[in-house]
Amino acid sequence: MLRSHTPILAALCLATLAACSFTAQDRQLSEDPAGKTDSEPEGGGSVSIIFENDIIVGNDRNYTSGTAMQWTTNPVESYPDGSGYERAIDGLSFLPFVGDEDREHYLSFSLVQQIYTATNLENPKPPDDDQPYAGLLYLNANVFARDEHSQHDYGLLLGVIGPMSGAEQVQKFAHEVVRTDEPGAWNKQLQNEALINVNYAFHYRLLRGKSRDDGLDWDLTSSLIGNLGTYMTGGSVGLTGRFGFRIPESYSSYGIQSGFTPNPVASDYPSDDWGGFFFASITGIGLAHFAPHGNLWESGRSVDTEPFVGAGSVGASIYYKQFLFSYNFTQQSDLFETQRRATKYGTVSLSYSF
C-alpha cells in the first residue's frame, strides 16, 4: 500500500519543501544583524483543503472525486523587501499586469488528485462508450494580479494521468474503509501520459454594493477563462453573484475540475471578525480536449467530448477569525456525447489563515 501511494507522497513532499523554502527565506530577511526578528508580522498566508465528491449528492460515477491541498500567500507586498515571493513576482513581470504597482499580487501552489470512473462501478466490463477509468495527479502554480475592479490569473499545471496518479489505490482504499463494493474495472484505466497546461482567467467586478457599514454586501463578477494543453484545451465565460455579510475582496472561485484551483478567498477576509455569504454562478464552456476522456498518444478507451458544456453552482461560505468553511453544489450538462447520467457533485473547502 505504501508503494502505491509513492507518487502522491513524493509530490506532497516537493510542494511542502517549496513552501517551506520560501518561508525560511522570508524569515531570514526579516532578521536584523543581531539575529532579532522584527515585531511586525511577516505576511503569513493560508492553507486550504478542498474536497469534491459526487457521493455528497448521492452519486458515485464519472467525475467521482477531487482533492486539493493548497498554499496561498497573503499579498506579496505585505512580505519583507527582497522576499522569495517578491522575486517570483519580479521574474513573472513579463506577464501582462503582473508587477503593476497599483495591483496586489498573490501566489498559490496546490497538489491535486482527480478520479473518474464508469457509470456502474460494479461492472468489470463497462461499455466502450462509457467514461473511461482515469486518475490524475498534478501540481498547480498560480499568480494573481488584483485591484478593486479586476483580477488576472495565470496558471501552470504539471502532472500525470494514468496508474502513476495512484487513483486506483486511493479509491479502492476508500471503498474498503466504508465497506462498499470494490470498483471493478481499474484494469481498463487510461495509460500514463504527462499533463502540462497553461491557464489564464480574467475576472471583472461588474457591480458591488453595500447597504450600510458592516451590513449586507453584494457583488456580481464576470469571468473569462482560457486553457491550453494536454489536461484541457478550451475556454469559458461565466457570471458569479455573492450576497451576505462582510464579503471578502476576492473574486469568483472555481472548483478543482475547471483546471483552476480556488482563488485565495482565505487570504483577504478580516481575520479578527466573522462574515458569511451565499453565492451562485453560471458558466458556459467550450471544450476541444479533456484528458479524462481518452489518451492523446496511447490507444485505448475513449469517448467523444461535447464541444459545449453548461454548468451551474450554488453554495455558501462562512468565516470566523482565521477559519473559513465553504460548500457548494454543482451540476453540469453532459461532458461527453454518450454520457448516461448528469454530472453532479459537491465541493467542501476548509481554509486556515495566519
Q: Is the pLDDT of residue 141 over 90?
A: yes
pTM for this predicted structure: 0.85
- Which residues sit opposite 351 in a β-bridge? 48, 324
Query: d(Cα 71, Cα 347) in Å, to the nearest integer?
Result: 18
Q: Is the pLDDT of residue 296 over 70?
A: yes
Model pLDDT, residue 263:
54
DSSP assigned state of 182: P
- Residue 38 burial class via C-beta count within 10 angstroms: exposed 0-12, middle 13-18, buried 19 and up: exposed
Query: d(Cα 219, Cα 206) in Å, to the nearest integer?
Result: 7
7-16, 293-302, 307-316, 321-330: the lowest-pLDDT one: 7-16
Residues 6 or more apart whose Cβ sits within 8 Å of residue 206 = 220, 221, 222
Model pLDDT, residue 266:
52
Question: Is residue 37 a contact partner of residue 29, using CB atoms and an 8 Å limit?
Answer: no
Residue with cell 482527480: 114
Q: Which of helix, strand or coil describes residue 238?
A: strand
Model pLDDT, residue 159:
97
Please state, rounded to an integer, the average pLDDT across all residues of the chain.
82
Model pLDDT, residue 38:
44
Model pLDDT, residue 179:
65
Does residue 40 or residue 58 have the better pLDDT?
Answer: 58
Distances (CA, A) of 229 to 59, 86, 143: 29, 28, 18
Q: Which of 253, 275, 262, 264 is nearest to 321 (CA)?
A: 275
Question: Is residue 84 a contact partner of residue 25, using CB atoms and an 8 Å limit?
Answer: yes
Model pLDDT, residue 303:
96
Q: Is the pLDDT of residue 15 over 50?
A: no
- Residue 101 burial class via C-beta count within 10 angstroms: exposed 0-12, middle 13-18, buried 19 and up: exposed
**pLDDT tier for residue 144 given thresholds of 50, 70 and 90:** very high
Please count the other Cβ atoms lying within 10 Å of the Cβ belonging to residue 324: 24
Q: Which of 350, 354, 352 is nearest to 326 (CA)?
A: 350
**pLDDT tier for residue 252 given thresholds of 50, 70 and 90:** low
Model pLDDT, residue 12:
44
Kindly list the structural domains of the chain, giving each domain's residue range(s) and its CATH number in brackets, ordered by start. 3-34+42-353 (2.40.128.140)
Question: Is residue 65 a contact partner of residue 56, using CB atoms and an 8 Å limit?
Answer: no
Does residue 122 or residue 178 have the better pLDDT?
Answer: 122
Does residue 159 or residue 251 have the better pLDDT?
Answer: 159
Question: Is residue 265 a contact partner of residue 277, using CB atoms and an 8 Å limit?
Answer: no
Question: Is residue 317 a contact partner of residue 324, using CB atoms and an 8 Å limit?
Answer: yes
- Name the amino acid, one letter, at 334: D
pLDDT over 70, % of the chain: 79
Q: Which of helix, strand or coil describes residue 285?
A: strand
Query: d(Cα 183, Cα 346) in Å, to the nearest integer?
Result: 21
CA angle 32, 34, 35 (to 5 degrees): 70
**pLDDT tier for residue 20 given thresholds of 50, 70 and 90:** very low
Residues 6 or more apart whose Cβ sits within 8 Å of residue 270 = 246
Model pLDDT, residue 103:
95
- Name the amino acid, one letter, at 150: S
Dump the DSSP string for 126-172.
Answer: --TTSPPPEEEEEEEEEEEEE-SSEEEEEEEEEEEESGGG-HHHHHH
**pLDDT tier for residue 268 given thresholds of 50, 70 and 90:** low
Calculate mean pLDDT across residues 242-265.
71
Calculate mean pLDDT across residues 197-201.
93
Calculate mean pLDDT across residues 231-245.
93
Q: How far is CA 119 from the centre of its chain?
A: 24
Query: d(Cα 152, Cα 148) in Å, to the nearest integer?
Result: 12
Query: d(Cα 347, Cα 341) in Å, to the nearest integer?
Result: 19
**pLDDT tens-digit readout, 276-294:** 999 999 999 999 999 999 9
**pLDDT tens-digit readout, 208-235:** 988 776 678 899 999 999 999 999 999 9
